[in-house]
Chain A
Amino acid sequence: MANSSTAKNEPVAAAKDAAPPLTTMAVLAPAIGWFIPGAGHLIQKRWGRGLLLMASVVTMFVLGLLMQGHVYQPNGGDILDILGFVGDVGAGALYIVVQVMNWGQGAISHATADYGTKYLIVAGLLNFISAADAYHIAIGKKP
Chain B
Amino acid sequence: MIFTPSHFTAALLFSVFASIVFGITQRSTSRDQLLYGLYCFAMFVGGVFAAGWVMWILRR
Residues 21-36 of B, flagged 1 when their CB comes within 8 A of A and 0 if not, give 1101100110000000
Residues 12-53 of B, flagged 1 when their CB comes within 8 A of A and 0 if not, give 011001101110110011000000000000000000000000
Q: Give the chain A neighbours of B29 by CB distance below 8 A.
A: 143
A132 to B26, CA, bound (A): 11
A57 to B21, CA, bound (A): 8
A16 to B24, CA, bound (A): 26
- Does A112 make an interface contact (CB < 8 A)? yes
Tell me which residues from 43 to 82 in chain A have a Cβ below 8 Å from any Cβ of chain B: 49, 52-53, 55-57, 59-60, 63, 66-68
* CB-contact partner of A126 in B2, B13, B17, under 8 A: B17
Contact yes or no, B28 A143, CB < 8 A:
yes
- Does A129 make an interface contact (CB < 8 A)? yes
* CB-contact partner of A129 in B3, B10, B21, under 8 A: B21
* CB-contact partner of B13 in A55, A63, A132, A143, under 8 A: A63
Range for the number of chain B residues in contact with chain A? 10 to 19
Contact yes or no, A112 B4, CB < 8 A:
yes
Tell me which residues from 85 to 114 in chain A have a Cβ below 8 Å from any Cβ of chain B: 110-112
- Does B54 make an interface contact (CB < 8 A)? no
Contact yes or no, B3 A67, CB < 8 A:
yes
- Does B60 make an interface contact (CB < 8 A)? no
* CB-contact partner of A142 in B3, B13, B22, B28, under 8 A: B28
- Does A35 make an interface contact (CB < 8 A)? no
A31 to B1, CA, bound (A): 32
- Does B7 make an interface contact (CB < 8 A)? yes
Chain A contacts to B: CB under 8 angstroms: 49, 52-53, 55-57, 59-60, 63, 66-68, 110-112, 115, 118-119, 122-123, 126, 129-130, 132-133, 142-143
